[in-house]
Structure 1
Amino acid sequence: GDQIDREGRSHQRHQHRHPAARRWVPMLVALMAATFSVYLVTKGLKHVWTPSVPALATIAVLAFALSYLAAKPWVYSQSEGMENRNQGLRKLFNLPLICSAALLSFAHGSNDVANAVGPLAAILNTAQSGSLASQAGVPFWVMLIGAAGISLGLFLFGPRIVRIVGERITKMNPMRAFCVALSAALTVLVASQFGLPVSTTHIVVGAVFGVGFFREYYTTHSRRRRNYIRTHKRYQHARRGVLADQDELRRRKLVRRSHFMGIIAAWAITVPSAAGLAALIFFAVDWVR
């Protein structure tokens, strides 16, 4: 009797996946569109119009409503006849994932290019005026150099970092990747709004860790998830004829501690190392001068 009740509750939860996806996926897409619209109005029109808080709230509500109304029928049409499993529901996140990745790329350019060209703009302004100023204008060619440098660096050295972040820290799928991209984009855009020079890479890696550690918590504390993993392990054992090591499976499926500790160490080392190297270079240049 208890087994039948458990199977019945599990069946009900599986039947509720489509309604839950149809309810939440349009809301996530609308949230992304509302945030992007507010940021574009705030930054893109700042030389023409400075919107007030009520105006920004109105723009956010309108963008949210319009995007929700546009996304809801698309989600309904995509989910019709779809297999009522996680593998089927993940397909609903393919297009939102592309949009969130584009938003994250935009946020990356809005913050990291400014971090790169800021010192150069300050140097040019000081060299031209002969004095230090609290604000410095940034010529277009300086921004172009920064954009070209970031694009070239991504082309030459980006694939390795993409593999580490996207594959080696924790196992990703479209749903998890969408959560990472959306949360990172929102964080970077808010930081850009307040003028905070943050690192997009660090934020994305932090979001990946957040998804991975939540999976560990959910796997440990969710009875339904433990039953699924136990059944999956029995299936693997019957198919391969070997008993997989549980710790190794845990490392493969969740957060890999070796990459976690390496990235934390890199965060702790790079800032003081860059500061010390800059001081040393300045000392050498000043001594030569």
Structure 2
Amino acid sequence: MATGAAGYAVLEHRGVVAVSGEDRAAFLQGLVSNDMLRVNESRAAYALFLTPQGKFLHDFTMVDSGGALLLDPETERRADLLRRLKMYKLRSKIALEDRADRMRVAVAFGTGALEALGLQAEAGAAVGFGGGLAFTDPRLPGLGARLFLPADGLEAALEGAGLTRRDGAEYDRLRLSLGVPDGSRDLVPEKSIPLENRLDALNAISWDKGCYMGQELTARTKYRALIRKKLFPVTIDGPLPEAGTPVTLDGKEIGELRSGRDGVALALLRLEEANRAAEAGLSLKAGDSGLSPRTPEWDTTP
């Protein structure tokens, strides 16, 4: 199949959890970074669960389906998210449920993928599909669609829409080439700052919703212009260094590499030095390889 043809992949590293009950939106409204009042069966969103100090803990997309808000945290970390949510439940009329045993998270990408699912190229637009929901990725439409589907019949539903199963590595390379981080693969729990990782430009934060966990320090970071580092997509000349490898410019350490594959990766870099390197065409170093950073086209923030 041609590289750009429409296909789908199942994201095994993401699992579905549900928050149901009449207080579900109000409960999450005080905890997550996006506005739950805008989330429904026709509108999905991307959000963060932060520490009180505004540091990353979890990220997920979410949509309302059949009286429950469905979230897709990382598979190996979903128990931690559920534990943290239970801490704040108190008297809220909600129920928390792990649905990873019967629902799957899939992505559809490539030329014509959104059209095959009846979706508009508008971030977060959602429609019913295959006994679940499909929605244009709320971070960036260029990533294609995300789907929460029953495990039984997933392949039949997607292939019935004209999509062919693809290797998940193809989707991962698309993500990396666009400069989009993926949970704890690129963000360090309890350490990473959302704005350093461009998550504000990926529609993760509502600036007018009011208080939520970590809101005060997140807002302070924005309005006091306290950003000294940012996440950059980088092209790699040479073998792929391991995640965490220091990145240097003229022998000076200016950041570190995050996830990568097939000659593309993400790197958290000091903003001043990375911009200077990009403008002057200078090559950064990570191990024995050269790195060329660029600013993602979708991030128009200064």
Please indicate the TM-score interval, normalised by the length of the shorter structure: under 0.3
TM-score scaled to structure 1, two decimals? Answer: 0.25
- If the length of structure 2 is used for normalisation, what is the TM-score? 0.24
Which structure has the highest helix share of the two?
A: 1
Larger Rg: 1
